[in-house]
Amino acid sequence: MEGNFGSYTDKTRVLDIKPLRTLRPVFPSGNQAPPFVCAPPFGPFPPGFSPFYPFSSSQHTPDLNQAQNPPQHQPHNSSEPSLVTPLRTFRSPPDTTTSNGDVEPSTVKRKITKKRTPLVCPENFSSGISVADRENGNRKLVTSVIMRFDALRRRFSQLEDAKEAVSGSIKRGDLKAGSTCMSRGVRTNTKKRPGVVPGVEIGDVFFFRFEMCLVGLHSPSMAGIDYLLVKGGGETGEEPIATSIVSSGYYDNDEGNPDVLVYTGQGGGNADKEKQTSDQKLERGNLALEKSLLRNSPVRVIRGLKEASQSAKIYVYDGLYEIKESWVEKGKLGHNTFKYKLVRAPGQPPAFASWIAIQKWKAGLPSREGLILPDLTSGVESIGVSLVNDVDAENGPPYFTYSTTVNYSESFKLSQPSSGCHCSNACKPGNLDCHCIRKNGGDFPYCGNGVLVSRKSMVYECSPSCPCSACKNKVTQMGVKVKLEVFKTVNRGWGLRSWDPIRAGSFICIYAGEAKDKSKVQQTMADDDYTFDTTRVYTPFKWNYELGLADEDASEEMSEEPELPLPLVISAKNAGNVARFMNHSCSPNVFWQPVSYEHNGQLYLQVAFFAMSHIPPMTELTYDYGVTRPSGAQNGNTLYGIRPLSISQIVEDVLSCLSPVGYVM
């Protein structure tokens, strides 16, 4: 053959060959030669063979050439099945046998595209949310949905942190958790509406866009304008109105007034980042804002903020705004952009305005009203704790020595020896060679940003004796990381709150003071109002992620009840830290977690406080004080902590919350 030399083929020649798909096939009719090697699909059949479906429906062999030029109209006989058979029914598996009968592996590799499997709610999982509650929520349900989402997100982040340490890849645990909750019905307020969203309060903070989606505050996970169609003008008899907007801060301004927002429309590129490539159009969200202006329909406004101490953006719900005017102006590159002026509806509690005031307090302009001391710790804490009283003339609480540690007295001795890890530089998530990680059940107890993943009977941290100096498993030993304020309450004495927003699972502080063994100092506790007692009975609650929601084995569920080897009591009467000012609540936003670490071969215990849910700025921090355990209830017990309450104890706890005095330090 020309161009061939042995096994060589000249591939530079271009042959004038038409592809097979352009050729018109011609099929022989049933009466033409040559016949099929085997029986034709529609017969005639050799003796001893009978026709089978789908070829048994016809008594003649059709002319397949007619299929290429079908008649203009052919009546359909519904009584006869179709004679058209898919070509895939004639496909046979490739012959992979050699001449000697051995199976030869195929050398042709076909690229298989992996299909994305949609998330399907497993049959054995129930969200516990009824159809009615899923459409219209309430405060309890909104809080529950956000807490369930964040618990799942923390778990996914924990797993991704372990993978990242090995592969170096980073994935978004919040997106996976949000998709899982959406597909499995862990959401509420799915009925889109303008105005107030049931259960969402002004000032609520969100650390992820998906949280706003799950509670119905703002549906799009990316777009800044949310809208719905209502009856109105237009060709379809419907028109869009805006329900909510997210002000990212990139191309919006408030004209120096926290109650006024000038919002830039969507489309055409990012105007303030000099990436706008075309004029914005009056469509979708822009049209919805324009229609809301004409209808005087209020719009929910979510402010996007970025704190200096936070690597990600924080969102605060600022309430309802009214669109007062709109106009078109030229952007930096000469393209038209839509502008909308929104004014906050009067009579709403402050939200964004409080954030602005806090930033001014931090800068010292102006000074905090009612400020007594800018830092009552006198520099002991790395972040100063202010002392404020804007209620009455009291100048401060009784004197005490500020301390950030737990002092173990002679009456409190732990005989259990302990040893730390031998990791160099830092402990790595997923490293089972680390002794501290093994003590935590094989999981790193904190996410990469220091957020606690799950409540445990005990959290084991690395200690100063461990060589991992830059380790992230020393969260409770690093001191206070948020700006706290001790303030005078109206009827609960002194309290504690934060200038900064606090994410669920974030460490707040430990309970510093003098550690004692309750069995040895029972007589000295009667007149001590600043005592934390681990032997009290605390109302049980669930905070960890749901194993079924995470597709994990339910039999592996861990206990959330604290377990301590001794009845630990910490007194902060003479020496302590800000924890001594936290008040009691039957609906607390803070919980305590026992934490231990090793130092010089000795085991040390401390009580650490973590945020139960997202806490907005200037919200009082409270935890459950628990109730005194009946005498004799500890006999035979070697572990102390949360125990289920009886009905009478629950009633007693509720009544104590309703009493004028209650648990007030």
Contact present, 337 and 268 (Cβ < 8 Å): yes
- Average pLDDT of the residues in 261-269: 89
Contact present, 317 and 337 (Cβ < 8 Å): no
- Average pLDDT of the residues in 466-470: 71
DSSP 480: -
Single-letter residue type at 74: Q
Report d(CA 209, CA 206) in Å as an integer.
7
Is pLDDT of 266 > 60? yes
Q: Does residue 178 fall inside a structural domain?
A: yes
Q: Per the omega criterion (within 30 degrees of 0), is the bond before 44 cis?
A: yes
Q: What does the pLDDT look like over 495-545, one tens digit per residue?
A: 999 999 999 999 999 999 998 767 666 655 656 789 999 988 899 999 999
Report d(CA 77, CA 523) in Å as an integer.
99
Q: Does residue 505 fall inside a structural domain?
A: yes
Percentage of the chain surpassing pLDDT 70?
A: 68
Please compute, for residue 164, the number of CA atoms within 13 A of its CA located in the half-sphere on the CB side: 16
Q: Does residue 25 fall inside a structural domain?
A: no
Domain match, 485 and 595 both: yes
> Domain end: 160, 191, 222, which one?
191
Kindly state the helix (H) or strand (E) to which residue 205 belongs, with its residue range.
Answer: strand 205-206
Residue-range definition of the domain harbouring residue 334? 201-362
Is pLDDT of 584 > 80? yes
Domain match, 354 and 407 both: no
Q: What does the pLDDT look like over 281-331, one tens digit per residue?
A: 999 999 999 999 999 999 999 999 876 555 678 999 999 999 999 999 988
DSSP 282: S
Domain match, 405 and 441 both: yes
* CATH code of the domain containing 567: 2.170.270.10
Domain match, 388 and 456 both: yes
DSSP 468: -
Q: Does residue 38 fall inside a structural domain?
A: no
Q: What does the pLDDT look like over 184-228, one tens digit per residue?
A: 999 999 999 999 999 999 999 999 999 999 999 999 988 999 999
- Average pLDDT of the residues in 343-359: 94
Question: Which of 129, 260, 136 shows the shortest CA–CA distance to 197?
Answer: 136
Q: What does the pLDDT look like over 321-339, one tens digit per residue?
A: 999 999 999 888 888 999 9
Task: Determine the 3-state secondary structure of 288 from DSSP.
Answer: helix
Contacts of 137 (CB under 8 A, 6+ apart): 145, 188, 189, 197, 198, 199, 215, 216
Contacts of 354 (CB under 8 A, 6+ apart): 203, 617, 618
Domain match, 425 and 507 both: yes
Alpha carbon of residue 311 to chain centroid: 16
Is pLDDT of 58 > 60? no
Burial 295-334 (b: 16+ CB within 10 A, else e): eebbbbbbbbbeeeeeeebbbbbbbbbbbeebeeeebeee
Q: Does residue 34 fall inside a structural domain?
A: no
Average predicted confidence (pLDDT) for the chain: 78
- Average pLDDT of the residues in 457-466: 84
Domain match, 436 and 542 both: yes
Contact present, 313 and 321 (Cβ < 8 Å): no
Domain match, 506 and 634 both: yes
Q: Per the omega criterion (within 30 degrees of 0), is the bond before 47 cis?
A: no
Domain match, 525 and 406 both: yes
Report d(CA 590, CA 614) in Å as an integer.
10
Contact present, 216 and 162 (Cβ < 8 Å): no
Q: Does residue 487 fall inside a structural domain?
A: yes
Question: Which of 344, 349, 366 shows the shortest CA–CA distance to 357?
Answer: 366
- Average pLDDT of the residues in 468-488: 88
Distances (CA, A) of 600 to 254, 417, 465, 512: 56, 9, 6, 20
Q: Does residue 290 fall inside a structural domain?
A: yes
Characterize the bridge pairing of strands 583-584 and 575-576: unpaired
Is pLDDT of 478 > 50? yes
- Average pLDDT of the residues in 260-275: 77
> Domain end: 158, 191, 224, which one?
191
Is pLDDT of 658 > 60? no
Single-letter residue type at 344: R
pLDDT of residue 244: 97
Domain match, 153 and 262 both: no
Domain match, 205 and 304 both: yes
Domain match, 374 and 358 both: no
Residue 16 CB coordination number (10 Å):
4
Is pLDDT of 575 > 90? yes
Q: Per the structure block, which two tokens stand in for 324? A: 């007062």
Please compute, for residue 238, the number of CA atoms within 13 A of its CA located in the half-sphere on the CB side: 7
Q: Per the structure block, which two tokens stand in for 382? A: 């790395």
* CATH code of the domain containing 258: 2.30.280.10
pLDDT of residue 235: 75
Is pLDDT of 646 > 60? no
Degrees (nearest 5) of the Cα angle 441, 562, 418? 55
Q: Does residue 443 fall inside a structural domain?
A: yes
- Average pLDDT of the residues in 45-65: 48
> Domain end: 166, 191, 216, which one?
191
pLDDT band at 429 (very low <50, low <70, confident <90, very high): confident
Is pLDDT of 275 > 90? no
Is pLDDT of 151 > 80? yes
pLDDT of residue 83: 41
Is pLDDT of 68 > 80? no
Contact present, 332 and 272 (Cβ < 8 Å): yes
Domain match, 142 and 205 both: no
As for how many domains the chain has, the answer is 3
Q: Which of 34-43, 97-106, 238-247, 624-633 has the lowest mean pLDDT?
A: 97-106
